[in-house]
């Protein structure tokens, strides 16, 4: 791997030290990144585990994202978003055009009776109208609750009931892998089941869909042309901007509430610190707006900074696995931010899908969603970044609002598999069960010891759960539930969820460690491991493995099982022995790309699957069950 020169490392470390020793002064300076209507009276106020930031500060998120750029004319005509979908349809909007669209929709919402504090559910695919919807809701001081367009009607209903949404914004349909995905029928179900919905704004996409049997609650819109202006509603910094439900990998989704001022200060600064975007940047964060990554780094941070972004409505490998790389070439993407899950999928395919495209416009790469295995990191660096682009491996959560651990601007040394150092103002540690700091390379619980502006306000309708889940294990410290180690230089490596740690003969082993070892085998594209009870060792490891496309013919060959087991033994030593391996074509994942290991464990233990509303593909679980039954039968023979 190419060696980089890091002349600014010491300056960064000094900057970081100032940020934690002078926390309130530091964040007061950083908050000037926003155009406030009124500055704050107090930087931070804490009440137990609840924290308020920039108390008394007045602002509006829509104004921050749009008006400031239009008023000063500097970014008025700059492209805010380039858009393309699977049909090849394209569109681009300037900051001024986006501003007009937001004002037009906000005016219509206001005419329907939307007021400050109302909750509006947005059920839209990743397109410009979806982003307009978020900003129009924010302009009125209302609260948006975005639900991913791939969710089922029951998932939507649960979120509407919990958030007490009064209005819905949706569209007729979307496109996915060449298919038309109907969205309106799910909303038909909702308004029939939940009578408190006052109105539904329906964007009519015209093509490929006929609207009929329309409920009187629908207000149909086919464009947002024209000129209207509505004053942005002024909100206090700590008033909520949105509620967003977690993916539910560990049970029923939780409604995470984020503030306006602290959240916007944090996401804008972290995007600047992480990727050092320039005026000429064409930023592509591949996340959907249904997830926190889309909220923070597709919508709010890029618009606050006046960046040009690209968004794509469609599957990453349709009509073939070269689609994303063709888009990078076409739009000359400069900074690219995606998930290890997507990268592992592309690793299954031959490299010619990548090599036929010119990716030289890329300057920085990023990773989000779950820990990136060292093998995937190197593949990404060499094949997508041409061994010259630094990789910003970011660790954070829906609850944290934005990046918490990442290599600042790529100016600190990179280490494959490590998210590197905490961001300015963020104090992290790795501790044991008693909360004592561990030595280098000892495994323990990741904790965050000081509040930061991006921290969620609470869990909607359940402050007790907020306290119990995040603050009860270590009093006064935020515990995200991740297992980690810290190396000699303070670099953090995430080893998986703490509740997924496997205990073998007294050894605590993170799922990430074993999965990374499996990926050392060049025939493997993806892997997920879980621990199952064992009378002698306490737990043993079962692995679910996806082979690269060119090795699929080995799926039924028992030798591949032995080969993978030997690879793990060679990498991790004799203590880590895989008991059983199941070769499958796909792993069960949430629609945000996280592997649902609890479902794998449920299949192995014969237990109920529990909540599967966020599962991307129901067929993946059936395949897991089939692989389990086949192996079970072969062992019985």
Assigned domain for 164 exists: yes
Q: Are residues 462 and 520 in the same domain?
A: no
Mean residue pLDDT of the chain comes to 91
At residue 630, does pLDDT exceed 70?
no
Q: Are residues 514 and 614 in the same domain?
A: yes
Can you tell me the distance from the alpha carbon of 85 to that of 103, in angstroms, rounded to the nearest whole number?
Answer: 25
Q: Which of 416, 451, 486 is the last residue of a domain?
A: 486
* Contact by Cβ (8 Å): 466, 393: no
- The pLDDT score that the predictor gives to residue 80 is 98
Q: Is the pTM of this model over 0.75?
A: yes
Assigned domain for 537 exists: yes
pLDDT-derived band at 635 (thresholds 50, 70, 90) equals: low
Look at the chain and count its residues. Answer: 637
Q: Which of 427, 457, 486 is the last residue of a domain?
A: 486
Structure tokens at 11: 């300056």
Q: Are residues 585 and 540 in the same domain?
A: yes
Can you tell me the distance from the alpha carbon of 14 to that of 465, in angstroms, rounded to the nearest whole number?
Answer: 37
Q: Are residues 457 and 596 in the same domain?
A: no
- The pLDDT score that the predictor gives to residue 41 is 98
Q: At what angle do helices 128-139 and 95-112 cross, to 10 degrees?
A: 60
Q: What is the dihedral of CA 406, 408, 412, 416, to 10 degrees?
A: 20
Q: What is the dihedral of CA 128, 133, 135, 141, to 10 degrees?
A: 180
Q: Are residues 423 and 547 in the same domain?
A: no
- The pLDDT score that the predictor gives to residue 371 is 85
- The pLDDT score that the predictor gives to residue 6 is 67
Assigned domain for 28 exists: yes
Assigned domain for 491 exists: no
Can you tell me the distance from the alpha carbon of 281 to that of 2, in angstroms, rounded to the nearest whole number?
Answer: 24
Assigned domain for 495 exists: no
CATH code at position 290 = 3.40.50.12780
Q: Are residues 19 and 80 in the same domain?
A: yes
Q: Are residues 468 and 609 in the same domain?
A: no
Average pLDDT over residues 600-613: 78
Q: Are residues 511 and 482 in the same domain?
A: no
Assigned domain for 494 exists: no
- The pLDDT score that the predictor gives to residue 249 is 45
Which DSSP letter does residue 73 get? S
From 143-152, 158-167, 279-288, 495-504, the region with the lowest mean pLDDT: 495-504
Can you tell me the distance from the alpha carbon of 220 to that of 470, in angstroms, rounded to the nearest whole number?
Answer: 42
Q: Which of 455, 486, 517 is the last residue of a domain?
A: 486
Name residues whose C-beta falls within 8 Å of residue 256's C-beta, 6 or more positions apart in sequence: 243, 244, 245, 246, 292, 398, 399, 456, 459, 460
| Helix/strand/coil for 86 | coil
| Helix/strand/coil for 351 | coil
- Rounded to the nearest angstrom, the gap between the alpha carbon of residue 209 and the centroid of all alpha carbons in its chain is 30
To 5 degrees, how large is the angle CA 163–CA 119–CA 160?
Answer: 35
Q: Are residues 249 and 220 in the same domain?
A: yes
For 231-264, how does the pLDDT look when each residue is reduced to its tens digit (9 = 90+)?
999 999 999 999 999 865 445 789 999 999 999 9
Name residues whose C-beta falls within 8 Å of residue 322's C-beta, 6 or more positions apart in sequence: 353, 354, 356, 357
- The pLDDT score that the predictor gives to residue 505 is 59
Which DSSP letter does residue 286 get? -
Average pLDDT over residues 399-426: 93
Q: Which residues of 290-325 are buried (b: 16+ CB within 10 A; e: fewer)?
A: bbbbbbbbbbbbbbbbbbbbbbbbbebbeeebbbbb
Q: Are residues 377 and 514 in the same domain?
A: no
Q: Are residues 474 and 539 in the same domain?
A: no
For 468-490, how does the pLDDT look when each residue is reduced to its tens digit (9 = 90+)?
999 999 999 999 999 999 999 99
Name residues whose C-beta falls within 8 Å of residue 281's C-beta, 6 or more positions apart in sequence: 275, 307, 308, 334, 335
Assigned domain for 311 exists: yes
DSSP string, 548-611: -GGGGGGTT-HHHHHHHHHHHHHHH-TT--EEEEEE-S---BBTTS-B-HHHHHHHHHT-----
- The pLDDT score that the predictor gives to residue 83 is 98
Q: Give the domain extent around 576.
A: 502-636
To 5 degrees, how large is the angle CA 316–CA 322–CA 328?
Answer: 80
Q: Are residues 461 and 510 in the same domain?
A: no
Average pLDDT over residues 195-224: 91
- Based on the structure, what is the number of domains in the chain? 2
- The pLDDT score that the predictor gives to residue 341 is 86
How many CB atoms neighbour CB 210 within 10 A? 7
Can you tell me the distance from the alpha carbon of 572 to that of 514, in angstroms, rounded to the nearest whole number?
Answer: 8
Average pLDDT over residues 442-449: 96
Can you tell me the distance from the alpha carbon of 566 to that of 553, in angstroms, rounded to the nearest whole number?
Answer: 20
- The pLDDT score that the predictor gives to residue 572 is 82
Percentage of the chain lying above the pLDDT 90 cut: 71
Assigned domain for 4 exists: no
CATH code at position 611 = 3.30.300.30
- The pLDDT score that the predictor gives to residue 290 is 93
């Amino acid at each position: 791997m190419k060696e980089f020169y890091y002349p600014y490392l010491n300056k960064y470390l000094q900057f970081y030290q100032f940020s934690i020793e002078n926390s309130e002064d530091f964040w007061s300076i950083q908050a000037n990144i926003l155009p406030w209507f009124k500055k704050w009276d107090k930087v931070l106020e804490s009440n137990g585990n609840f924290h308020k930031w920039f108390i008394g500060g007045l602002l509006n998120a829509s104004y921050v994202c749009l008006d400031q750029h239009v008023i000063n004319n500097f970014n008025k005509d700059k492209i805010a978003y380039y858009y393309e979908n699977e049909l090849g349809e394209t569109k681009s909007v300037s900051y001024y055009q986006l501003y007009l669209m937001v004002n037009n929709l906000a005016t219509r919402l206001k005419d329907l009776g939307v007021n400050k504090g109302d909750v509006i559910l947005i059920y839209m695919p990743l397109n410009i109208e979806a982003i307009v919807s978020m900003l129009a809701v924010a302009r009125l001081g209302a609260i948006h609750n975005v639900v991913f367009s791939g969710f089922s009607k029951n998932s939507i209903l649960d979120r509407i009931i919990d958030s007490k949404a009064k209005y819905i914004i949706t569209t007729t349909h979307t496109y996915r892998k060449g298919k038309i995905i109907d969205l309106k029928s799910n909303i038909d179900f909702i308004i029939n089941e939940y009578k408190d919905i006052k109105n539904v704004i329906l964007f009519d996409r015209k093509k490929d869909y006929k609207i009929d049997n329309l409920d009187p609650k629908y207000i149909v819109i086919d464009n947002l042309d024209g000129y209207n202006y509505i004053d942005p509603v002024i909100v206090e910094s700590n008033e909520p901007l949105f509620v967003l439900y977690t993916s539910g990998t560990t049970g029923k989704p939780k409604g995470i509430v984020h503030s306006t001022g602290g959240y916007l200060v944090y996401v804008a600064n972290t995007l600047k610190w992480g990727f050092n975007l320039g005026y000429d940047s064409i930023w592509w964060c591949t996340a959907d707006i249904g997830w926190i990554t889309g909220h923070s780094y597709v919508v709010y941070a890029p618009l606050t900074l006046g960046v040009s972004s690209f968004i794509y409505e469609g599957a990453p490998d349709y009509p073939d696995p070269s689609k994303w790389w063709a888009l990078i070439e076409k739009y000359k993407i400069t900074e690219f931010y995606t998930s290890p899950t997507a990268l592992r999928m592309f690793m299954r395919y031959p490299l010619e899908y990548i090599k036929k495209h010119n990716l030289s416009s890329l300057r920085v790469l990023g990773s989000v969603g779950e820990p990136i295995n060292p093998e995937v990191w190197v593949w990404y660096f060499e094949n997508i970044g041409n061994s010259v682009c630094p990789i910003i491996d970011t660790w954070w959560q829906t609850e944290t609002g934005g990046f918490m651990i990442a290599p600042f601007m790529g100016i600190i040394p990179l280490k494959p598999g490590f998210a590197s150092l905490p961001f300015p103002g963020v104090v992290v540690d790795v501790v044991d069960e008693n909360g004592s700091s561990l030595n280098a390379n000892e495994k323990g619980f990741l904790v965050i010891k000081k509040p930061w502006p991006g921290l969620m306000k609470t869990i909607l309708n359940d402050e007790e759960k907020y306290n119990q889940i995040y603050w009860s294990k270590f009093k006064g410290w935020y515990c995200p539930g991740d297992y980690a180690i810290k190396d000699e230089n303070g670099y953090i490596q995430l080893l998986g969820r703490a509740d997924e740690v496997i205990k073998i003969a007294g050894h605590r082993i993170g799922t990430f460690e074993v999965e990374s070892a499996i990926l050392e085998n060049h025939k493997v594209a993806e892997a997920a491991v879980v621990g199952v009870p064992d009378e002698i060792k306490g737990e043993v490891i079962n692995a679910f493995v996806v082979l690269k496309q060119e090795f699929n013919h080995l799926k039924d060959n028992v030798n591949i099982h032995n080969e993978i087991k030997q690879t793990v033994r060679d990498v991790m030593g004799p203590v880590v022995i895989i008991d059983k391996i199941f070769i499958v074509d796909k792993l069960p994942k949430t629609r945000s790309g996280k592997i649902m290991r609890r479902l794998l464990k449920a299949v192995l233990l014969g237990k109920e699957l529990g909540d599967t509303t966020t599962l991307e593909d129901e067929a993946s679980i059936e395949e897991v069950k089939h692989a389990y039954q086949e192996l079970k039968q072969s062992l019985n023979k």
